[in-house]
Structure 1
Amino acid sequence: MDLIGYSITFFVSWWIILFMVLPLGVKTHHESDEEITDGVEVGSPVHANIKKKMVLNTIITVCFMIVVGLVDYFDLVSLKP
């Protein structure tokens, strides 16, 4: 795989892993027993911690890409007939 292939794989896997990481540790307004003001959706998160989740997402994606790179380098999985 060349640089473009790794870039595309990183980009796609980053977004897929993001949607797996986003719900981690979410506490909604309904679960927190706080006073809910007008205009606030009860299902919205109290603290989203987006920066922390983006960093975690990038670390997981880099680890995944290291595994993909090792599999590609050592030709552990061959897709050619």
Structure 2
Amino acid sequence: MLAIYVLFWAFSVFLVLPFGVKTSAEAGAEHVPGTAESSPHEFSMKKVAVRTTIVATIMFALFIANYEFGWVDASSLDYSDAANAV
């Protein structure tokens, strides 16, 4: 279960990264020479880690709930007609 949670956490990082990011122009600060115009004005690893942990925990809880209650299983995702052909 820990390995699956770590996978959800790693996936969630990429979901969370674009949110709450402001460029220097959007923040009203001067552009730092040598950086891209689209680079973030400030980056807080702590905020990203907290947001990622929240998203990963919610996704993991839904995964465990689905495992326990069987809302979606492999047979419900089988859209081929191979099962009905026989």
TM over 0.5: yes
Is there any run of 5+ residues in structure 1 with no aligned partner, and where?
1-5
| Structure 1 position 67 matched with structure 2 position 62 | yes
Question: What amino acid sits opposite 2:7 in the alignment?
Answer: V
In structure 1, distance between residues paired with 2:4 and 2:11: 11
Per the TM alignment, residue 47 of structure 1 is displaced from its structure 2 partner at its CA by 1.3
How many residues align? The count is: 76
TM-score normalized by the length of structure 1: 0.72
Any runs of at least 4 consecutive aligned residues in structure 1 with deviations exceeding 6 A, and if so which? none
TM-score normalized by the length of structure 2: 0.69
Cα 1:34–1:72 change in 2 (3 A) is same
In structure 2, distance between residues paired with 1:76 and 1:37: 51
Q: What's the counterpart of residue 29 of structure 2?
A: 34
In structure 1, distance between residues paired with 2:28 and 2:69: 53
Question: What amino acid sits opposite 1:64 in the alignment?
Answer: M
